[in-house]
Structure 1
Amino acid sequence: MKRLHPISGVNRTLGYAIRVGAFAFFAGTVLSGPLAALPFAVTFVLAPLAVLVGGAYGVARYYRFSYELSDGRLSVQSGVFDRQEREIPLGRIQNVDIERSVVQRLFGLAIVKFETAGGSATEAVLNAVTETEAMELQAAVARHRRDGADTETETREGGDGTETATGRAIETDDQTERPQQRRLYELSGRDLLVLAALSFRLSAPAVVLFGVPFGQEYARQFLSASVGVLGGPATVSLALLPTYSTGELVLIGSVALVEFVLAAWLLSAAFTITEYYNFRLDYVGDDLRYQRGLLQQYSGSIPLEKVQTVTIRENALMRQFGYAALAVETAGYAPGSGNQDTNNTAIPLDDRETVTAVAEALTDAEAPEITGLPARSRRRYAVRYSLLALGATALLAGIHAFVQSIPFWYAPLALVPVTAFAGYLTWRHRGYALLAHRFATRSGFLVRRTRLVPYYRIQTVIGTRSVFQRRLSLASVTADTASTAGLVGGDATAHDIDDTTAREVHETLRTRLMDDLQRRAGERDSHNLEGFAAEGPRR
């Protein structure tokens, strides 16, 4: 059994010492102050003792944690008072991710995360191993997967094979030939800037709002300068708001809104550049292996045989300029795990033709011709989206009538045409297609997603008919897979299609699922990425 790097022990020791010591100091202050249960001098005795106890616990945690990779499994032992021993078969491991922060890179260390199918959290985390050890662990899991597939093929072809990959010890890189590695995609500096300009992260506005109080004076001065240039008041201040005219208030509000959006966009661009800097995608054996990150570097593997869904993602700006992104969803990432969308990204930005070509290579299928929704379902979307504005109006009307007078309480009614048009756009961008070996769906306007699901990856076929759908003879059909994206509404769903068509799609999915399983029972799944990668990396 191996232990983590000694720096991990130092980090644990300091962390527990600080946390336990701080808690003891706070508790002693409360007990000796408001409660007057202890003399204040006791606090200066409890805090150092707590620091020693916390540090000792951190040392014990370090020495009690050990791991080993052998005999087709990852063994992890941990715990001080509650001992835990886990054995994870390598065949269950879906993804192996490597993270390196700035500090960790200074010491040549990395964090290794092992994700399995169906787990509610990351199955195992090695907080501090050398970069060489991290790469060897990642390669060992990939090699075990290849050996298992090769053994299965040999056994099926020869009929007398008895050895399985699970029973072998994991070989080192010196004992086996490394798989060929080819560059499939590389994000150039120009494309990185384009991606930053065309993307927008919803977390950016929240960060701007949180940061404004800390730079309130600078924000006020910048706003005053901008308003002054446009002919408004020379000084903008909350105390002076009652003295401004209506026109000046409109100008100040408009400029403040523009500056807020601009600040959020710039911050979002900075986040994107930091996240996707030096993004590279390699084709290694039967895996896709990516590297990315400026401050926090990430490296991970995406096993092609574990891919559940391939998604072409385009936001509204990307569509206008002919760009798209590609994501592959596996069963390995736990629900709610951080950076799940980023970790699944195979191509963050390229022209749509290139992204479609990679999607075709991954799914062995041509780009689908999407069938749109029936015209009568358009009314359903218009009504559903208009209810947002009508509901807001009803709420304000109730407050106006029974609580407090509100001027222009009916103003949300002006948004009814806007919401109805948003419903129309949603209806227009939804659809589905039944391919030879794939089920394709499309949805979303602000971010349009075209999902391609192999029939043999379908776990359950779900048909739904709400009360309102039945009134229009509509139904929805969902192809549920093992991908955790389905937990947040990411399953491939044909929304609001004709009820008769939905029943046919439901039956077709079930039939083609069984046909595909029978077809694959006699042959190993192959991918077309070798020829695609031979043409050189996409930039």
Structure 2
Amino acid sequence: MSSVPPPIPATDAERRLHPWSWLFVLIMQLRQYLLPLAALLVFGQRGDRDPLWAQLIPLIVIACLVLASVLQYLSYRYRIGEDGITIRSGVFARNRREIPFARIHNVVVDQNPLHRLFGVAELRLESAGGNRPEAEMRVLRMDEALALEQRVRHRGPVMVNPVADGDPGTPPPLPETDTRHVLLRMSSIEVIKLGMLSNRGWVMVAAALGALVQVVPRDRMDTFVEYGGREAFGYANGLQPGITGMLVIAAVLLLAGWVALRVLSVLLALLRYYGFELSEQQRRLTVSTGLLSKVRSSVALRRIQAWTLSETTLQRWAGRRQLSVDSAASQGNDEQQQRGLRELAPLAAPADCDALVQHLLPTVQWPPALWHPVALRGSWRLCVTSLWLTPLLAAGLTWRWGGMGLLVLAWLPVALWTARLQMARIGWHLDDRYVALRGGWWRRWWRWAELDKLQALRLSRSPLDRLLGTSSVWLDTAGARGDVALCLRYLPQAQAAEVLEQLGRALARRQLRW
């Protein structure tokens, strides 16, 4: 995918999508109905006893999808104006959408292998909030998609100078230039490391099992499992390997499964992150990535609401971390929507992640010089489920199998020990620029947001908080939906009230920037 966009086109009349747009819409719809159609074709036939209309149902469904795709192409119009884009769509119910460029927070240009074959791309325009993009244009010529992306970059609003907003301590924004700077590139070796250090293979295995359960009838699946298990155990008994041999076979099978999952994880990482490049132009970040499907996603730096650093245990042993962001753009449940600009550094050295943060947030001191810890005396609250569930499980196992069931109680000290380690990792930092928190033990994370991005504050107390005299301060931003909530947990009640008042004063004298 080319990284240099063409010149910005002038304002013109209404346009259609690419002539082959209906084909890509049809393919998308067929993907949604692929499993039901396959199940109907494979398992729904009963031979010559089926009436003719029943055998023609799949063909009728496909014909209806083709007709709907063609009508959608014929009814879709768009017009690129000076300040926004106008979209008309709908066959029976006509819709008109006016999307100002200033309201577009994220632009995603997606190219799968079929797109590349036809020289086209899918374009998604996302704004703050909502579960769907403002516009999904399937499909445009590649030069038109890149031209529209450039138009959004040039027609977006100018950064508001915080000095004019009553915050004299904030320096003016950095000047915008047309120079494109590459901030991070991932080599093939780094992408392979990312696959080795992740568990993405489990996702594919779980998805495959879920598809089998949905497609294959229950009776046939039970027959296959029963017959296969009987054959496998019969073959193993025929070998007569003994206990030692059985343990060796089990170990080999486990090792082979682990290697297969790692290989699958590496393949998935190569497909998604091959050629990963993070660049900056006019204070707008752009990520280009993908081996077969090329994805180009861009977002203005001012739209980033929250930042997250994380590292798993394997990544920590390898000296690597991940840097991701939450932006004020729609984040639906659809996989394609989640492939927008979220990961600034899928895998990088801690020093490189810190340097990237310092470059993008020059007014923020990262990492903080001081982390405020929380009290360890209430660490048992992190394993309260284990504290009541483990004795019940031990009682049930003891009633069923005798004294051996008491061995389950050995989990209690382990749970208390891990809870104490997790509580010891919790910390927070607050100054006149940003608020940050950290946590995690097995998987460590750091999360922060600038005070200018905070929208609302909330003080909450659970029954355990009232028992232990603590409170939690929740922070809300536009579009921050990461895995970890922006919440200062387990603070003493007086300290939580003081933090809430301090943040309230800061928000009252600052203008929201999102």
- TM-score in same-fold range (> 0.5): yes
Spell out, residue by residue over 1:3-38, the C-alpha distance to the aligned partner (whole angstroms, 9 max, x if none): 111111234467779979x97x969x989999x9xx
Spell out, residue by residue over 1:276-309, the C-alpha distance to the aligned partner (whole angstroms, 9 max, x if none): 1111111110201110111111111121111101
Q: Distance in 2 between matches of 1:194 and 1:17?
A: 35
Residue 408 of structure 2 aligns to a residue whose secondary structure is helix
Shift of 1:268: 1.6
Structure 2 match to 1:535: none
Structure 2 match to 1:237: 232
Change in 2 beyond 3 A, CA 1:398/1:352? same
Q: Distance in 1 between matches of 2:287 and 2:28?
A: 31
Change in 2 beyond 3 A, CA 1:499/1:359? same
Match of 2:256 among 256, 259, 264: 259
Spell out, residue by residue over 1:334-391, the C-alpha distance to the aligned partner (whole angstroms, 9 max, x if none): 243426377311112222122112213333211113222212132333x42633xx52
Q: Distance in 1 between matches of 2:62 and 2:386?
A: 60
Structure 2 match to 1:9: 22
Contact 1:4-1:129 at 8 Å conserved across structures: yes
Q: How many residues align?
A: 465
Match of 2:129 among 95, 108, 118: 118
Shift of 1:185: 1.4
Say whether 1:80 aligns with 2:91. Answer: yes
Counterpart AA for 2:507: L
Counterpart AA for 2:289: R
Q: Distance in 1 between matches of 2:86 and 2:373?
A: 50
Q: Distance in 2 between matches of 1:319 and 1:46?
A: 55
Residue 375 of structure 2 aligns to a residue whose secondary structure is coil
- Does 253-262 or 453-462 show the bigger shift? 253-262
Q: Distance in 2 between matches of 1:460 and 1:308?
A: 13
Structure 2 match to 1:187: 186
Shift of 1:491: 2.6
Counterpart AA for 1:441: L
- Does 135-144 or 68-77 show the bigger shift? 68-77
Contact 1:204-1:265 at 8 Å conserved across structures: no
State how 1:485-500 maps to structure 2 within 5 Å: 485=481, 490-500=484-494
Contact 1:200-1:269 at 8 Å conserved across structures: no
Residue 322 of structure 1 aligns to a residue whose secondary structure is coil
Counterpart AA for 1:6: P
Change in 2 beyond 3 A, CA 1:283/1:370? same
Shift of 1:250: 4.0
Counterpart AA for 2:69: G
Spell out, residue by residue over 1:50-98, the C-alpha distance to the aligned partner (whole angstroms, 9 max, x if none): 6655433332221111222214222222222332222222222110011
Counterpart AA for 2:276: F
Match of 2:341 among 340, 343, 355: 343
Counterpart AA for 1:451: R
Match of 1:430 among 426, 429, 442: 426
Q: Distance in 2 between matches of 1:71 and 1:450?
A: 41
Q: Distance in 1 between matches of 2:192 and 2:445?
A: 22
Residue 502 of structure 2 aligns to a residue whose secondary structure is helix
- Does 333-342 or 362-371 show the bigger shift? 333-342
Spell out, residue by residue over 1:461-504, the C-alpha distance to the aligned partner (whole angstroms, 9 max, x if none): 12222111222222221211112415xx5332122122222111
Shift of 1:256: 3.0
Counterpart AA for 2:412: V
| TM-score computed with the length of structure 2 as normaliser | 0.79
Residue 379 of structure 2 aligns to a residue whose secondary structure is helix
Counterpart AA for 1:321: A
Q: Distance in 2 between matches of 1:249 and 1:44?
A: 50
Contact 1:101-1:296 at 8 Å conserved across structures: yes
Contact 1:310-1:453 at 8 Å conserved across structures: yes
Say whether 1:380 aligns with 2:342. Answer: no
Structure 1 match to 2:196: 197
Change in 2 beyond 3 A, CA 1:423/1:129? same
Contact 1:4-1:126 at 8 Å conserved across structures: yes
Change in 2 beyond 3 A, CA 1:86/1:407? farther
Structure 1 match to 2:497: 503
Contact 1:198-1:318 at 8 Å conserved across structures: yes
Match of 1:107 among 97, 105, 118: 118
Instruction: List gaps (5 residues or longer) in structure 1.
Output: 158-176, 215-235, 526-539
State how 1:131-210 maps to structure 2 within 5 Å: 131-145=142-156, 148-149=157-158, 179-201=178-200, 202-206=202-206
Change in 2 beyond 3 A, CA 1:502/1:350? same
Q: Distance in 1 between matches of 2:45 and 2:471?
A: 63
Structure 2 match to 1:454: 450
Q: Distance in 1 between matches of 2:384 and 2:290?
A: 41
Spell out, residue by residue over 1:315-339, the C-alpha distance to the aligned partner (whole angstroms, 9 max, x if none): 2222233322211211103243426
Counterpart AA for 2:456: T
Residue 391 of structure 1 aligns to a residue whose secondary structure is helix
Spell out, residue by residue over 1:511-535, the C-alpha distance to the aligned partner (whole angstroms, 9 max, x if none): 12223339x8xxxx9xxxxxxxxxx
Say whether 1:441 aligns with 2:437. Answer: yes
State how 1:57-72 maps to structure 2 within 5 Å: 57-72=68-83
Q: Distance in 1 between matches of 2:255 and 2:303?
A: 45
RMSD, aligned CA: 3.9
Contact 1:437-1:516 at 8 Å conserved across structures: no
Residue 516 of structure 1 aligns to a residue whose secondary structure is coil
Structure 2 match to 1:517: 511
Counterpart AA for 1:299: R
Counterpart AA for 1:93: I
Instruction: List gaps (5 residues or longer) in structure 2.
Output: 1-13, 166-175, 217-230
Residue 20 of structure 2 aligns to a residue whose secondary structure is helix
Counterpart AA for 1:67: Y
Contact 2:390-2:411 at 8 Å conserved across structures: no
Contact 2:309-2:446 at 8 Å conserved across structures: yes
Counterpart AA for 1:477: V
Q: Distance in 1 between matches of 2:256 and 2:59?
A: 49
Residue 271 of structure 1 aligns to a residue whose secondary structure is helix
Change in 2 beyond 3 A, CA 1:33/1:420? same
Counterpart AA for 2:143: T
Residue 414 of structure 2 aligns to a residue whose secondary structure is helix
Contact 1:429-1:442 at 8 Å conserved across structures: yes
Spell out, residue by residue over 1:250-272, the C-alpha distance to the aligned partner (whole angstroms, 9 max, x if none): 44444333332332222122212
Spell out, residue by residue over 1:193-238, the C-alpha distance to the aligned partner (whole angstroms, 9 max, x if none): 3322223335155258679999xxxxxxxxxxxxxxxxxxxxx932
Q: Distance in 1 between matches of 2:134 and 2:485?
A: 23
Residue 485 of structure 1 aligns to a residue whose secondary structure is coil
Shift of 1:398: 3.8
Q: Distance in 2 between matches of 1:14 and 1:483?
A: 31
Counterpart AA for 1:8: S
Aligned identity (percent) is 25
Q: Distance in 2 between matches of 1:515 and 1:507?
A: 13
